Amino acid sequence: MKKKIGQLFVNLFFFGEDAFSGNKLTNEEILSRYHIGGARYMNADKTKVQGLLNDLQKASKIPLLIAANCDSGGNGACSDGTYIASGAHAEAAGDTDVAYHAGLVSGREEAALGVNVNFDPCVDILYNWRNTIVNTRAYGTNADTVIKYTQAYLDGLTDGQEIIRCIKHFPGDGTEERDQHLILGVNELSPAEWDDSFGKVYRHHIDHGVEMIMAGHIALPYYQQKLNPNLKDEDILPATLAEELIQGLLKEQLGFNSLVITDASHMLGMTSAMRREDYVPGAIAAGCDMFLFFNQLDEDYNYMLNGYKKGVITEERLNDAVRRILGLKAKLNLHVKQAEGKLTLPESALDIIGCEEHLKWQREAADKGISLIKDTQHNLPINPTKHKRVRLYYLEGETKGIAASDNKLVTNLVAKLEERGYVVTINDGTTRVKGSINQYHEEVDLALVVANVVGYGAQNNYRIQWKTAMSNEVPWYVHEVPTVFVSLNYTTHLHDATMVKTFVNAYHTNSNLLDSLLDKLEGKAEFKGGHNELVWTEKWQAKL
């Protein structure tokens, strides 16, 4: 019985100190004591990751489902993996080949590490421009676009690779602006509206055989109340704890007959719902089959075990969940590979990570996806004769979070500009002092504003954060010198910078993308990427 309970859990492994629970057990002790069914890990370079995953499979009596979050390429599986295209990037490219290659590279590079489950793509629909938790991960603003690109991604993911396909975040994010890491997310669509949008997406992927669905800590109140009219507003729960949504809507009404996994259990959308000793077994009782991450190993394990002993989890429900878990392991032939000594991988398997073919697809994606949103002042193209003296304004988000900014970006960008003949000075945005306007004209031929605003789980949404009050980096200079604004992550920065007249979305910071970006700014290559209407953030000034 205890081994069945253990199979319900996916543990998060760290390289170094366990930042969530302070666990001091060795990996081997975790496996032997708790019999976990799955693993995920915090990112590291490819050699460290493969070594960890090999060690975990060697030490586990029942082979593990091992997952990574690859939504845009192998960079989600290891720090030196290959980015191809995010959801927003793929949508902008307007080419299913880009999404397909993102999936293909994700599958190839994570499989080389020993990963056999991919916790992506996001099949959320981006309705609300203020939503930054899925802004770059969403493939579109309507069901048909999301289906088009996520299916291409999944086709690539499993092309030649044995990877379990997992889509998320049921019942669907993107209608509001808040982040379920920090608060209960709410999808407030009516049942009819949901059926025609998110329901359409899930029906498509279920019909095409997706093996795993991640339930989000997101409420779908009107649908839950339709399925159970006796529910009051105070009874509404996140999908991860709502039997009406997991068992009733997903498994019965939509006919999903494989494995449902919770999103991470430390997220506030779940933790604020009830006591942990109640929601740990409650998630399985509601119809979820795996529980993502321990808080404290022994404590959570016993919460789950006691939930079974008290009848919260019935014998039938426990056996059904374990059957689904073992069924996916059998589909991957993990037991056969284990018996034949093929469950671990040689270091030579890592050669595919960052290979030239993958870098070629990275260059192609950059060329197809970089989007010129507007150039109403006709500031483009630029060149090192007319625009030799460049003032670089660098805007960033979190620097020490889970999704920290690239600390090498400024150095790399300056070097690339200087190689092309520009002279670059970096603005100090920590002051309000603008100085003499005439002197500014003498020193600056081009203002280049680069936003690399990233962040994860520390704010409900992320916007431009100027370095100080009325900082001199705020684009006061748009009528003084040609000004070009480039975003390397979020697509909706025009809301905070409507005054800029030239705006580009470029989606990432890798070297190939920066080269392609500069070629396009200089007119050596055309802008091929498109955009959806959310880039204007419902502001008429943004289009001027």
Residue type, 126: L
């009404």: which residue's tokens?
253
- The gap from C-alpha 104 to its chain's centroid, in whole angstroms, comes to 17
Whether 286 and 243 have beta carbons less than 8 Å apart is answered as yes
Closest to 513 (Cα-Cα) out of 170, 73, 21, 193: 73
Reduced to 3 states, what is the DSSP secondary structure of residue 373?
strand
- Find the catalytic residue in 95, 120, 179, 263: 263
- CA angle 76/519/389 to nearest 5° reads 110
Reduced to 3 states, what is the DSSP secondary structure of residue 138?
coil
Which tokens sit at 78?
Answer: 């290891």
Residue type, 25: L
Q: Cα(281)–Cα(404) distance, rounded to whole angstroms?
A: 34
Is residue 73 left, alpha or beta, with left meaning phi > 0 and alpha meaning psi from -120 to 50? left
Q: Environment class of residue 144 by beta-carbon count within 10 Å: exposed (0-12), middle (13-18) or buried (19+)?
A: exposed
Whether 78 and 353 have beta carbons less than 8 Å apart is answered as yes
263 is catalytic: yes
CB atoms under 10 Å from CB of 274, counted, come to 12
Q: Cα(70)–Cα(49) distance, rounded to whole angstroms?
A: 14
DSSP secondary structure of 306-320 = HHHHTTSS-HHHHHH
Residues classed as catalytic: 263
